[in-house]
Copies of this chain bind each other. A is one copy, B any other.
Amino acid sequence: MARRSDHSREQLQQMAISAAIAILNEHGVAGLSARKVAKSIGYTVGTLYLVFKNLDELLLYVNAATLDDLQRAIMQEANVHTDPAQILKTMALAYLRYAQQHSARWSLLFSHRLPANQPIPAWFEQKITSVFDGVKMPLQQLHPELNESALLQATRELWSGVHGACDLGLSDKLNLGGRFKLEELIESFVENYLFGFAKSKGIA
């Protein structure tokens, strides 16, 4: 295993991922390039392609790290309250705050598409499921009688709304006209959905 520098492939990968995240935070998605990442870790572009199949693969790992981060940010605020509905509202606001404070990473996470016909790896899908599971828990606490299937669907419905509001809101496509704050809209949405979900299932 001859190597010029003293960085293993794994180290090199991790260095590149960290460098990419730093560039994203400082210069946004448009400011990111393979050469800049390479330069930032003291290597040439070619080396990057020795460790990643292509730039899309690097971005996939960056997004995976963002997903971990995002989950941490959401779950951190989850234990502040005991009321499940209150927990879900707090998680939704944490989701929004993360998107606001890490706009470039958040934007990349949802705008990046793998080349056509290349499916999302199973380990990445698992990370997504894991985030949803964090949302599912308080929802289950709220409705213990629901089966796994109904719970899974309700989680997706609820979080689609939270995500959609963040996506449209942060790209100025909600046209609230300054009359409402995005935080209020999201809180109100969660309340309304939870209320309707309970009622339509004949609960509460």
Contacts and interface: CB of A to CB of B under 8 A. Distances in A.
Interface in A112-134: 113, 116, 119-120, 125, 128-129, 132
B110 A188 contact: no
A92 B125 CA distance: 26
A163 B168 contact: yes
A193 B171 CA distance: 23
A191 interface: yes
**Size bracket, chain A contacts:** 35 or more
A149 to B, nearest CB: 6
A200 B28 CA distance: 40
Nearest to A176: B156
A188 B128 contact: no
A129 B177 CA distance: 10
A194 to B, nearest CB: 7
Contacts of A173: 110, 128
A103 to B, nearest CB: 10
Nearest to A184: B153
A157 to B, nearest CB: 4
Interface in A161-184: 161-165, 167-169, 171-177, 179-180
A82 interface: no
A163 B188 CA distance: 17
Given A174-B156, A175-B125, A199 B193 contact: no
B164 A160 contact: yes
A27 to B, nearest CB: 10
A45 interface: no
Contact of A161 (B110, B172, B193): B193
Interface of A: 28, 107, 110-111, 113, 116, 119-120, 125, 128-129, 132, 149, 152-154, 156-157, 159-165, 167-169, 171-177, 179-180, 185, 188-189, 191-200
